[in-house]
Amino acid sequence: MRLSIDHHTIYRFSVPQGRLTQMLRLTPEDTHDQTVASWHLHVDCDARLRPGRDGFGNKVTMLYVAGPIDSIEIAVSGEVLTNSADGVVHGAHEVLPPALFLRATPLTLATAAIADFTASAVSAGTDLVGRLHRLNLALNARFVADRDRPVTGRTAAQAFALDRATPRDMAHVFIAAARTLGVPARYVSGYSRFAFGGEHRPAPHGWAEAYVAGLGWVAFDPSAGRSADEAYVRVAVALDAAGAAAVAGSRLGEGDEEMDVDVTVAPASD
């Protein structure tokens, strides 16, 4: 599949800022299952850009802007060729051992309720992959999909207590649940045609990967009840959504900020 992606993020500040420093995790990489045909990053002001990698091995671009600045638009666009591998990740840039992803974070701490739900959901499973698929489907059935912008800072425990959950919420719950089974699990940020209803999306997509010995990392999207396939473009991984955020950083200045995000993902026209 050839996917066309446009992702625009606009920050507006109530008071001009003296300096901005941002880490952008906005650039997908080639793997055996996806090939970046073209990719462009644009900033609508004078900025210094420096490519690199973060601690999880993700490709990043550091952005530095000297003020005064009252708004900034960061845009990426491009086309990515994908193919289905039944959710199994092949040829990704890996710098850390899978066992690291057993580590819980404040966003992915499992509660007794999550552990009990997991034990019940996977009890009929046989092999580990089958149990993880059962967990994925159980979480998809457990929540009504919330297609609004994710709530920053909502934990897996807080999300599990609700009836509605965003893709980010469900990925965090899946990660917490998988770790109760002793399975390394991590958050994935990227893009998907099936992430949200309608043409425009209020955020990049998020799903999870779990490590299965002898098979490798396998992608699960509880918000869709499926494994990630050719409709998904993988960008960054981390212990949780905060570590894989598309844009993160700091600003020097007082006042408030507003953020608008618009993402479109569609089959590329010939």
Same domain (yes/no): 93, 222: yes
Query: Roughly what angle, to the nearest 10 degrees, separates helices 128-142 and 112-122?
Result: 120
Mean pLDDT within 250-267 = 89
67/172 same-domain check: no
- DSSP type of residue 104: -
Q: Which domain holds residue 255?
A: 2-80+247-267
Single out the residue of 34, 27, 82 nearest to residue 58, CA to CA: 27
CATH of the domain at 35: 2.60.40.2250
Q: Can you tell me the mean pLDDT for 124-131? A: 84
**Mean predicted lDDT score pLDDT of the chain:** 92
Question: Are 49 and 146 in a shared domain?
Answer: no
Q: Are residues 154 and 23 in the same domain?
A: no
Question: Can you tell me the distance from the alpha carbon of 84 to that of 229, in angstroms, rounded to the nearest whole number?
Answer: 5
Please answer whether residues 4 and 265 qualify as being in contact, where contact means their C-beta atoms are separated by less than 8 angstroms.
yes
Report whether 2 contacts 268 (CB < 8 A). yes
User: What is the domain count for the chain?
Assistant: 2
Q: Which two tokens stand for residue 138?
A: 């159980």
Residues 201 and 255 in one domain: no
CATH of the domain at 203: 3.10.620.30
What is the rounded radius of gyration, in angstroms, for the C-alpha atoms of the chain? 18
Bridge partners (DSSP) listed for residue 79: 4, 38
Task: Verify that 106 and 228 share a domain, yes or no.
Answer: yes
Instruction: Say if residue 251 is in the same domain as residue 156.
Output: no
Asked whether residue 165 falls in the same domain as residue 252, the answer is no
Output the pLDDT for position 151: 85
The answer on pLDDT for 198 being more than 60 is no
- For the record, the structure tokens of 96 come out as 């850390």
Same domain assignment for residues 48 and 101: no
> Does one domain contain both 209 and 159?
yes
- Band of residue 146 on the pLDDT scale cut at 50, 70, 90: confident
60 plus 123 within the same structural domain: no
| 113 and 176 assigned to the same domain | yes
Other Cβ atoms within 10 Å of 142 Cβ, number: 15
Sequence-ordered list of residues with C-beta below 8 angstroms from that of 94, at least 6 positions apart, any chain: 57
